[in-house]
Structure 1
Amino acid sequence: MSLKKKLGAGVATAVLGLGLIGGGVFAYFSDSETTNNTFAAGTLDLSVDPTVIIDVDNLKPGDIMVREFVLGNEGSLDISTVDISTVTNVIDAKGDNTDDFAKHIKVLFLENADKTGDGWVIGDYNDVISETTLYDLQNQTPDGVENVQSWVTHFFGLNGEDSGLSAGTSDNMYVAFEFVDNGEDQNEFQGDKLELEWTFTAHQTEGELR
């Protein structure tokens, strides 16, 4: 066989070998699909209306003040709890105070009417805060949307709404303050001012299988 024929046969064999290798790599069926996925976080948006719950002057011992406000859930996620934290600041007009003015301002009650249900009719209430001074309240963080069920509401089946605040709903709140008349000399508080800051902090419900 001539050299030309030998070279031609060698090239043909190499091409055939490459074709077999290529066939082993590419000779199969395939199909593919693409998915487009999204993770969108919900929102917690707690509102308080009005933002100034109480603003009074010319107080004297024995005065009682009742106010109403609304806690609203304007977000897309349900709220499990709403912690209420208290900070007070006393402005001593004459600089002669020997006691803290906050000890003489009592919260008679903070009532969540929606959690009470029909308990109002029979005199049973869902007190978030009951009978404590603003001074002592600074060491507490009550839950403003908890349903504290009593034996009265349980017996009559008048339980009100469940604890928490669902998205798009609101709770009506009633609060009463008293400048306590302790029957003693309270002249040191004349002209004084007490600033009350209530911070309402909403918390999400537990995560779930989605």
Structure 2
Amino acid sequence: MSLKKKLAMGIATGALAVSMIGGGTYAYFNDVEVNNSSFAAGTLDINVTGGDAANAIIDVKNIKPGDTMTRNFTLNNIGSLDVSKVFLTSKYTVTDANGNNAGADFGEHIKVKFIVNKDKKTEVVHETTLKDLSKSDVVDRDLLGWILGGEPDGLKAKTSDSLTVKFEFVDNGKDQNVFQGDSLQLEWTFDAKQTAGTAK
């Protein structure tokens, strides 16, 4: 065999060896595992049950100065998350039956007392008028903050807290005839806030 053929044969053999080595780099042991994770958000859900018609906290007619009306209502945490605060927003509209209120506000004459039962005694934890309650800053309207001076654990999921509210049509000892026949529609909105986030 000539030297040229020997060289050509050697080069071809070397090229084949290199290609086999290069091809071998793609052959290796392998193991693949797929892990599926998930995030599910909890629910923040409260409802309020009252004692009057249609589950209203209060529904009363024919009131006069000096009348008081005591009603119970319950905050129910029916969600899966704990609640840290429940803010109360109060709004009302007055229907002036005779058009003679002359700027007098019926809501200013309705006193509201929030009461809790403590060791078989009742304790007023917050007192205001409908007018003032409807214009208070939100930080002053945390119902859970009023109950026994606040609850560090808030309202746990699937638990309830009960409150008593006493309304009074205040008799101010003056002529209140302008309110005869008037009506007041009260809307309370309960806004539940979550507790702080935790490590899971």
Deviation at 1:8, TM superposition (A): 5.8
Deviation at 1:124, TM superposition (A): 5.9
Asked if the contact 1:146/1:162 (under 8 Å) is kept, the reply is no
**Please, what TM-score do these two structures have when normalized by structure 1?**
0.81
* Aligned pairs (5 A) from 1:10-159: 10-23=11-24, 25-50=25-50, 51-98=55-102, 99-107=104-112, 109-113=113-117, 119-121=118-120, 123=121, 125=123, 127=125, 129-130=126-127, 132-140=128-136, 141=138, 142-146=141-145, 149=148
Tell me, in whole angstroms, the C-alpha distance in 2 between the residues paired with 1:94 and 1:187: 10
Range 84-93 or range 49-58, more displaced: 49-58
- Residues 9 and 112 (structure 1), Cα distance of their counterparts in 2 relative to 1, 3 Å cut: farther
Map of 2:159 onto structure 1:
169
AA in 2 matched with 1:102: G
Tell me, in whole angstroms, the C-alpha distance in 2 between the residues paired with 1:120 and 1:65: 23
Deviation at 1:11, TM superposition (A): 4.0
- Count of residues paired in the alignment: 191
Asked if the contact 2:43/2:81 (under 8 Å) is kept, the reply is yes
Deviation at 1:18, TM superposition (A): 1.0
**Please, what TM-score do these two structures have when normalized by structure 2?**
0.85
Map of 2:199 onto structure 1:
209
Tell me, in whole angstroms, the C-alpha distance in 1 between the residues paired with 2:86 and 2:124: 15
Asked if the contact 2:43/2:80 (under 8 Å) is kept, the reply is yes
Tell me, in whole angstroms, the C-alpha distance in 2 between the residues paired with 1:55 and 1:65: 10
Task: State, as a whole percentage, how many aligned pairs show the same letter.
Answer: 48
Tell me, in whole angstroms, the C-alpha distance in 2 between the residues paired with 1:42 and 1:200: 19
CA RMSD of aligned residues (A): 2.4
- Residues 39 and 70 (structure 1), Cα distance of their counterparts in 2 relative to 1, 3 Å cut: same
Tell me, in whole angstroms, the C-alpha distance in 1 between the residues paired with 2:172 and 2:8: 120
Tell me, in whole angstroms, the C-alpha distance in 2 between the residues paired with 1:52 and 1:133: 19
Deviation at 1:161, TM superposition (A): 6.2
Deviation at 1:20, TM superposition (A): 1.1
